[in-house]
Amino acid sequence: MVELTPSENLPLSGIRIVEFTHMVMGPSAGVILADMGAEVIKIEPIKGDNTRRLKGSGAGYFPMYNRNKQSLCLDLKSDDGQRVARQLIDKADILIENFRPGAMDKLGFGYPSLRETNPRLIYCSLKGFLDGPYQHRTALDEVTQMMGGLAYMTGLPGRPMRAGSSVVDIAGGMFGAIAILGALEERHRTGEGQLVKSSLFESTAFMVGQHMAQQAVSGKPLQPMSVRTSAWAVYDIFDTSDGEQVFVGVVSDTQWKVFCEAFALTEFSRDAGLAQNNDRVARREEIMPVIRDCLGAMTKPQLMEKLEQTGLPFAPIASPSDLFDDPHLNASGGLLEVSLAEQGKTACLPGLPIDLAGRRLGLRRDLPKAGEHSRQTLQELGYSDEQIVALAAAGVVAFGEV
């Protein structure tokens, strides 16, 4: 049984959001606001969001980004379904959508139409591109990683590679949530809502901006991160004697002194020509074989214990599955237990990586079954039991998991 946190006076308590989303970008924006206390009603098709049924690398999308939400299964192509949705939106503070360009307008849920009856509505549209020549293109996380330079920087020369997570979808959702919070604050002053947008391509450009700036400063062509000239001489993954790997970084001249002392690299600590970082980078091919032999003579636990004592930056090379048992995440409330689709099966998944006045944001609502809150939502809108039964019979709404 998943344990739910008690209802608290969270930052966004009292804010109602209607969410028309699928996959990752839209749901990630919604879960950020839901975790912070907003009431999020997720509108799903009659058979439930197709994201629920994804396999392979998409199997984790729904459970990761849809906690703390309610589910209403609704046929948006029917007049009655559109009427229900419109009633919800007219009472909402925020709408989030991430469907293809023009889809919401065709349903009658474009921002110009909705603001006529709800001028306080903050309408967040999450797309592949902001306004411009590309705005009507269909985009995916991987598409914009490729065209935005991120895949180039991640892979090997001539072999672009997407990052190992849906980083652009998630970043686009985060920027959408930031835009919503900015619009919410502006509404406090003006009383008016507004249309806000976030996009995959521009999010990618923002993330590679450091490399654009690097080229502007250096005047040199960019190399992928996999073969780059590091800013620091020691900033590498090292093999240990027990067949494991540990990353170690030495990113200041002070840390270099500590590093040399900890690992008895006396010849390096006495060499004045290695005292400055840029000099060490220039002599990297000379010093790295010695350092690799030194660290490689130790087991992973021995190396990590010594690095822990020195305070130097280090990290074991972990896979996502290792995080289930991570002592820090488990001790600090960084993992939230949610129920999965399989009966009785749960998983501990990462919560928001923020702390508010000593509070970690927890689980107020478990993952919703498709249509779990349809009846409740309709009742709150004033529908009678007879009307609800009639809507269900007509295929306009669905209840429970389907």
- Residue 313 shares a structural domain with residue 352: no
Task: Quote the pLDDT of residue 401.
Answer: 56
Is there a single domain that holds both residue 175 and residue 47?
Answer: yes
What range defines the domain where residue 306 resides? 230-320
For tokens 């001790």, name the residue.
331
Looking at the fold, whether 181 and 280 belong to one and the same domain comes out as no
Of 270, 291, 320, the residue at which a domain comes to its end is 320
Cβ atoms of 200 and 144 within 8 Å: the answer is yes
Contact at 8 Å (CB) between 92 and 18? Answer: yes
> In a 3-state reduction of DSSP, which class is residue 74?
strand
Contact between residue 49 and residue 79 where contact means Cβ atoms under 8 Å apart: no
pLDDT of residue 78: 97
DSSP 194-232: -EEEEEHHHHHHHHTHHHHHHHHHH-S----GGG---SS
Q: How high is the mean pLDDT of the chain?
A: 96
Structure tokens that stand for 166 in this block: 């849906």
Confirm whether 1 is domain-assigned: no
- pLDDT of 101 higher than 60: yes
Q: What is the tens place of the pLDDT at every residue in 205-230?
A: 999 999 999 999 999 999 999 998 88
Which tokens hold the place of 359? 């509070």
Strands (E), 172-292: 195-199, 234-239, 245-250
Question: Is residue 5 assigned to a domain?
Answer: no
pLDDT band with cut points at 50, 70 and 90 for residue 100: very high
Residues 293, 155, single domain; the answer is no
Position 313 in a domain: yes
pLDDT(96) > 70: yes
- What CATH code is carried by the domain that includes residue 313? 3.30.1540.10
Residues 65 and 160 in one domain: yes
pLDDT band at 1 (very low <50, low <70, confident <90, very high): low
178 and 235 fall within a common domain? no
Inter-CA distances, 224 with 140, 150, 181, Å: 22, 9, 35
pTM over 0.75: yes
pLDDT in the model for residue 402:
43
Calpha distance 67→5 (Å, rounded): 13
Residue 278 pLDDT greater than 80, yes or no? yes
How many domains in the chain?
Answer: 2
User: Do 257 and 195 share a structural domain?
Assistant: no
- 327 part of a folded domain: no
Alpha helices in 317-384 (DSSP H): 327-331, 374-380
Of 265, 286, 320, the last residue of a domain is 320
Per-residue pLDDT of 236-265, as tens digits, reads 999 999 999 999 999 999 999 999 999 999
Q: Which residues have a catalytic role annotated? A: 169
Angle at 346 between CA 341 and CA 350, to 5 degrees: 110
The dihedral through the CA atoms of 381, 125, 45, 3 has a sign that is negative
Cβ of 186: how many Cβ atoms within 10 Å? 15
Tokens 């985009």 sit on residue = 139
Same domain, 300 and 374: no
Q: What's the CA gap between 124 and 176, in Å, rounded?
A: 7
Residue 7 pLDDT: 65
Cα separation, 352 vs 198, whole angstroms: 20
**CATH number, residue 154:** 3.40.50.10540
Distance CA 118, CA 141 (A): 32
Q: Is the torsion defined by CA of 306, 309, 315, 317 positive or negative? A: positive
283-303 pLDDT per residue, tens: 999 999 999 999 999 999 999
Residue 234 predicted with pLDDT over 70: yes
Residues 260 and 310 in one domain: yes
Question: Does 265 reside within a domain?
Answer: yes
153/248 same-domain check: no
How many percent of the chain have pLDDT more than 70? 99
Query: Length of the chain in residues, anyone?
Result: 402
At CA 13, angle to CA 9 and CA 18, rounded to 5? 160
Q: Domain ends where: 264, 292, 320? A: 320
Residue 216 token pair: 């502007």
Q: Is residue 220 part of a domain?
A: no
- pLDDT score of 51 more than 50: yes
Q: How far apart are CA 141 and CA 170, in angstroms?
A: 9
10 Å Cβ neighbour count for 264?
Answer: 10
Do the domain assignments include residue 6? no
pLDDT tens track for 335-390: 999 999 877 899 999 999 999 999 999 999 999 999 999 999 999 999 999 999 99
pLDDT of residue 91: 97
- My answer on whether 170 and 283 are in the same domain is no
- Residues 165 and 70 grouped into a single domain: yes
164 touches 186 (CB < 8 A): no
Task: Classify residue 382: in a domain, yes or no.
Answer: yes
Compute the average pLDDT of residues 166-185: 98
Tokens of 304: 């990590």
Provide mean pLDDT across the span 78-88.
98
How many percent of the chain have pLDDT more than 90?
A: 95
